[in-house]
């Protein structure tokens, strides 16, 4: 019984993190129909920024989050301007999707290798006084890094909910997503909206990276692993369903925890893959009904 | 390419060079190895092109099929199976893998299909890495019998085979179906093409060829430090790059792209080491954005300017 | 107020407008009529900036429009109710209205303008929290017009207002259009399939055929000329004289 609650607790903490990882990917896909295959690589980049701040200045990773957000946001703006915005001129959405995949696939190579040059291929993680320690709660051990990751995930998800739902900018984003031409007829600068959304999406990836470098570890090519997690979560959440992403992450986390409990740790990712394939076969539109984003 | 007497003659001459020159001139083993690698790339890029350039299914986990071929060929050959059988078996295993995974995933639209392929390649890489954690090598007897010539001709032969079969396929009715699926899947369905079957068969053939490429590669190597390395995304990226830069959806494009790739990596390896991949990544972006028909597109433009037929016209 | 000179427009390689020259005067209601595919909507879209003209220019209150992106044109004071309404289907009625006031100038008056729209179309106030995709055709059209009005335009373009709507709804909308034109001095350009409706509410009209302007004039004169009506529009207006 105790093992079971431990597994559940673990699944929830990891699941929230999985949701956090996916938010940036889902935003880009939902708003602009771009598939950013380099998402995992941006996550790793965010992790490196935090790592660097930690080792150089002793800055607590969770406190470094605002800085990481700023840096990654700027990077996101550049990436959009240089590589993604030309895609908007392409005729069909399918074309756009394919080309965005190819381009971001190329970005993986550029970034992976740049990171390898700058930071060497070693595996890095942040080892702070709280690393590896856990809190006892109702008989289960909850790791501090896991709890912090959970908290960050919830805060970010709620923040995103409010930005999209209550702010003028959020309405611009939603309008541009639903009908870009009509949005421009309302006076919305759709390109600038896309630009800022891209910045936000990459910033989200960066935040995820901070969590990962504190809870796990990163190396220049570990991005792919997180990309796959994000893909699975995105599919579980259903297309365009940004607010279902964290719940979907929780589902994946729980399923995975239970699966690993049965099968064993080294095959964790294979468990994810199997879940992925099962979902694809039986419920490709995702587990969550497409919710009308009414904010009442 | 239309059966232009000129181009057939040209091809024959080039083929003859490849066949005869190594016998006359001593290229040295490193050059021969580079050429063999070129053949591997040509086969790989042609097969990716078949699926991606002609049928419009972007596969980002192609390394899975390649790696499958490498692994199986190596294991079979090591246990005494003659190399030719091992090769074919490698190709078939890759096709089998593609078929098994393809059945559920081909129903998906482009993005999800691509995601599925990446997931497959990664999963395979991890599983293989766990199953074969230590290095794999061939017994010493194989090394002492090493002769680069059969490897060269085998590689060349399979490269030719790949190109011929892609050519025949593209020219057939099936090829027409593939292009229709690429250009507008819904419209293709409406005109009675079984789009699923088309995609599936293209996938199987493409995977088979990739597996063969893996076999050729395997034939040429005796030692794998980590066998899982052949499942790495680099083996997807490089043929993809070759196709896109050379010109997707054409026959000659992947070949040009592969040559370009090999030449560049040889140059850059001297200067930058692994970082040559950065250059490729950076190159890929403007090519995708601004000149989607790649180098073939440039050649076409030149030919148009000179008043001749373009490659696209001929195809 | 707005002048277009020798404007030509293309959809890809296909030419839709040929050397169009027209003028819209402040405070009037102008209509563009013609058969299907004649190019009326294209004129609207070109003015609004959704289609970029090749050749010629469009000037609005001294500023050239033809090089500007659509959202900048909205900022200058031109707002369009597009063909097919193009509401944001997953946003509520209220949100659709709010988004209509996305320019800096309009957003300052957002709150009071929402109240104004609610007065013009009370049903929209009732349905404030309802998602736009679930509204009826007439309600959607009212919302689309309301949304365009939220942008504080000086010139309102309406593309195909009456399509698919019941006469009662059309009547109500026409009333609103005329009221807004009178009280707020809002200039209106209307593209209409239904010639009767168009001529009943407009001051001046242009008849468009094959991407060219063939007739221009006061609506009273146009109405009176039965031959004209029949020739270009296949319309018999004898029974509809004032």
ipTM of the complex: 0.86
Q: Which residue has the higher pLDDT, B113 or C45?
A: C45
Chain B residues with beta carbon closer than 8 angstroms to that of A34: none
Average model confidence (pLDDT) across chain B: 81
Which DSSP helix (H) or strand (E) runs through C142? helix C137-149
Which residue do the tokens 């908290």 mark? A151
Chain C residues with beta carbon closer than 8 angstroms to that of A294: 92, 129, 131
Which residue do the tokens 């790649």 mark? B294
Q: Is C137 on the interface with A (CB under 8 A)?
A: no
Which residue do the tokens 């996101």 mark? A76
Which pLDDT score, from 0 to 100, does residue A294 have?
42
Q: Is A243 on the interface with C (CB under 8 A)?
A: no
pLDDT-derived band at B207 (thresholds 50, 70, 90) equals: very high
Hey, CA dihedral for B148, B153, B156, B162, is it positive or negative? negative
- Spell out the domain ranges in chain B: 5-314
Q: Is C50 on the interface with A (CB under 8 A)?
A: yes
Chain A residues with beta carbon closer than 8 angstroms to that of B123: 269-270, 273
Q: What's the token pair of residue B150?
A: 């059969």
Domain containing residue C189: CATH number:
3.40.50.300
Q: Which residue has the higher pLDDT, B36 or B290?
A: B36
Which are the contacts of C159, defined by CB distance < 8 A and separation ≥ 6?
C40, C41, C44, C45, C80, C81, C82, C83, C191
Put simply, the answer to whether C86 touches A181 (Cβ < 8 Å) is: yes
Give the span between the Cα atoms of B248 and A129, in whole angstroms.
Answer: 53
Q: Is A134 on the interface with C (CB under 8 A)?
A: no
**Interface mutation vs chain A, best among C72, C99, C110, C149, most A CBs within 10 Å:** C99
Which residue do the tokens 């010139």 mark? C155
Burial per residue of B227-265, b for 16 or more beta-carbon CB atoms within 10 angstroms, e otherwise: bbbbbbbbbbbbbbbbbbbbbbbbbbbbbbbbbbbbebb
CA nearest to C90 within chain A: A292
Tell me which residues of chain C have a pLDDT lower than 70. 226-242
Chain B residues with beta carbon closer than 8 angstroms to that of A224: 118, 122, 233
Chain C residues with beta carbon closer than 8 angstroms to that of A292: 90, 131
Domain B5-314 fold:
ABC transporter involved in vitamin B12 uptake, BtuC (1.10.3470)
Which pLDDT score, from 0 to 100, does residue B144 have?
66
Q: Which residue has the higher pLDDT, C153 or B271?
A: C153
The distance of B94 to chain A (nearest Cα, Å) reads 19
Nearest-CA neighbor of B242 among B182, B193, B180, B287? B287
In what side-by-side order are the strands of the sheet with C204-209?
Answer: C78-81, C155-159, C187-192, C29-33, C204-209, C212-218
In three-state secondary structure terms, C235 is coil
Chain B residues with beta carbon closer than 8 angstroms to that of A232: 119
Put simply, the answer to whether A190 touches C147 (Cβ < 8 Å) is: no
Put simply, the answer to whether B240 touches A110 (Cβ < 8 Å) is: no
pLDDT digits (tens, 9 = 90+) for A273-287: 777 777 777 766 667
Give the span between the Cα atoms of C72 and A187, in whole angstroms.
Answer: 7
Residue C189, by phi and psi: left (phi above 0), alpha (psi -120 to 50) or beta?
Answer: beta
Which pLDDT score, from 0 to 100, does residue C227 have?
66
Determine, yes or no, domain membership for C142.
yes
Determine, yes or no, domain membership for C20.
no
Look up residue C103 and give its DSSP letter: S
Which pLDDT score, from 0 to 100, does residue A289 have?
62
Which pLDDT score, from 0 to 100, does residue A189 have?
92
Domain of C171, in residue numbers: 25-49+68-237
Q: What is the average per-residue pLDDT within A129-133?
A: 73
Number of domains in chain C: 1
Give the span between the Cα atoms of B80 and B73, in whole angstroms.
Answer: 11
- Spell out the domain ranges in chain A: 17-224
Q: Given a cut of 90, is residue A10 above it in pLDDT?
A: no
pLDDT digits (tens, 9 = 90+) for B227-246: 888 888 888 888 888 888 88
Determine, yes or no, domain membership for C132.
yes
Which pLDDT score, from 0 to 100, does residue C94 have?
92
At least 3 CB pairs under 8 A between chains C and B = no
Which pLDDT score, from 0 to 100, does residue A26 have?
92
Determine, yes or no, domain membership for C140.
yes
């Amino acid at each position: 019984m105790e093992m079971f609650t431990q597994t559940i607790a673990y699944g929830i903490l990891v699941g929230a993190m999985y949701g956090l990882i996916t938010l940036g990917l889902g935003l880009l896909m939902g708003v602009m129909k771009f598939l950013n295959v380099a998402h995992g690589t941006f996550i790793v980049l965010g992790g490196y920024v935090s790592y660097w701040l930690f080792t150089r200045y002793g800055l607590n990773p969770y406190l470094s989050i605002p800085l990481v957000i700023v840096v990654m946001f700027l990077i996101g703006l550049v990436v959009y301007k240089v590589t993604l915005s030309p895609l908007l001129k392409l005729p069909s959405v399918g074309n756009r999707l394919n080309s965005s995949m190819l381009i971001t696939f190329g970005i993986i190579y550029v970034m992976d290798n740049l990171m390898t040059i700058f930071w060497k291929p070693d595996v890095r993680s942040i080892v702070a006084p709280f690393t590896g320690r856990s809190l006892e709660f109702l008989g289960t051990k909850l790791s501090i890094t896991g709890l912090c990751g959970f908290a960050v995930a919830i805060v970010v998800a709620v923040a995103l909910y409010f930005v999209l739902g209550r702010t003028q900018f959020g309405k611009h984003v939603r309008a541009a997503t639903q009908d870009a031409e009509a949005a421009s007829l309302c006076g919305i600068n759709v390109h600038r909206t896309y630009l800022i959304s891209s910045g936000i999406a990459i910033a989200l990836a960066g935040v995820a990276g901070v969590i990962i470098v504190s809870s796990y570890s990163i190396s220049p090519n570990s991005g792919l692993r997180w990309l796959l997690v994000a893909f699975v979560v995105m599919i579980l959440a259903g297309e365009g369903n940004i607010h279902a992403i964290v719940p979907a992450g929780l589902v994946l986390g729980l399923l995975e925890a239970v699966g690993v409990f049965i099968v064993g740790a080294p095959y964790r990712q294979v468990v994810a893959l199997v879940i992925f394939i099962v979902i694809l076969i039986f419920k490709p539109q995702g587990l969550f009904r497409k919710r009308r984003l009414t904010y009442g | 390419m239309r059966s232009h007497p000129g181009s057939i003659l040209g091809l024959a001459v080039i083929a003859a060079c490849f066949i005869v020159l190594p016998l006359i001139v001593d290229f040295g083993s490193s050059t021969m190895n580079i050429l063999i690698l070129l053949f591997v790339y040509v086969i790989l890029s042609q097969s990716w092109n078949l699926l991606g350039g002609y049928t419009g299914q972007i596969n980002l986990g192609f390394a899975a099929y390649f790696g499958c071929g490498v692994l199986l060929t190596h294991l079979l050959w090591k246990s005494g199976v003659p190399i030719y059988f091992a090769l074919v078996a490698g190709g078939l295993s890759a096709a089998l893998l593609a078929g098994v995974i393809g059945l559920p995933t081909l129903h998906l639209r482009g993005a999800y299909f691509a995601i599925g392929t990446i997931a497959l390649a990664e999963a395979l890489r991890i599983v293989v890495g766990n199953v074969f954690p230590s290095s794999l090598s061939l017994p010493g007897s194989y090394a002492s019998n090493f002769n680069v010539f059969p490897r060269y001709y085998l590689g060349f032969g399979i490269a030719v085979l790949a190109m011929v079969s892609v050519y025949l396929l593209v020219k057939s009715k099936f090829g027409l179906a593939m292009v229709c699926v690429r250009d507008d899947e819904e419209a293709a369905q409406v005109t009675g093409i079984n789009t699923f079957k088309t995609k599936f068969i293209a996938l199987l053939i493409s995977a088979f060829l990739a597996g063969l490429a893996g076999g050729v590669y395997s034939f040429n190597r005796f030692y794998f430090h980590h066998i899982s390395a052949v499942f790495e995304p680099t083996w997807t990226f490089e043929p993809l790059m070759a196709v896109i830069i050379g010109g997707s959806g054409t026959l000659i494009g992947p070949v040009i792209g592969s040559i370009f790739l090999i030449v560049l990596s040889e140059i850059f390896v001297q200067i930058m080491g692994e970082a040559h991949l950065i250059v490729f990544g950076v190159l890929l972006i403007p090519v995708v954005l601004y000149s989607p028909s790649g180098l073939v597109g440039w050649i076409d433009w030149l030919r148009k300017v000179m008043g001749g037929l373009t490659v696209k016209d001929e195809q | 107020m707005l002048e277009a000179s020798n404007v030509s427009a293309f959809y890809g390689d296909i030419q839709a407008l040929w050397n169009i020259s027209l003028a819209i005067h402040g405070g009037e209601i102008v209509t563009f009529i013609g058969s299907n595919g004649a190019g009326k909507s294209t004129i609207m879209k070109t003015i609004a900036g959704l289609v970029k003209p090749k050749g010629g220019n469009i000037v609005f209150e001294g500023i050239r429009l033809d090089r500007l992106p659509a959202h900048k044109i909205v900022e200058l004071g031109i707002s369009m109710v597009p063909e097919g309404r193009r509401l944001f289907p997953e946003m509520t009625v209220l949100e659709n209205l709010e988004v209509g006031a996305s320019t800096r100038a309009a957003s300052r008056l957002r709150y009071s303008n929402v109240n104004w729209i609610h007065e013009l179309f009370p049903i929209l106030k009732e349905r404030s929290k309802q998602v736009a995709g679930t509204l009826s055709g007439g309600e959607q059209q009212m919302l689309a017009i309301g949304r365009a009005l939220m942008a504080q335009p000086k010139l309102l373009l309406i593309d195909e207002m009456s399509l698919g709507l019941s006469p009662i709804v059309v009547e109500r909308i026409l009333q609103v259009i005329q009221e807004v034109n009178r009280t707020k001095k809002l200039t209106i350009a209307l593209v209409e399939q239904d010639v009767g409706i168009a001529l009943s509410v407009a001051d001046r009209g242009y008849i468009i055929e094959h991407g060219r302007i063939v007739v221009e004039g006061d609506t009273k004169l146009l109405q009176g000329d039965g031959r004209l009506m029949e020739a270009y529009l296949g319309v018999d207006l004898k029974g509809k004289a004032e």
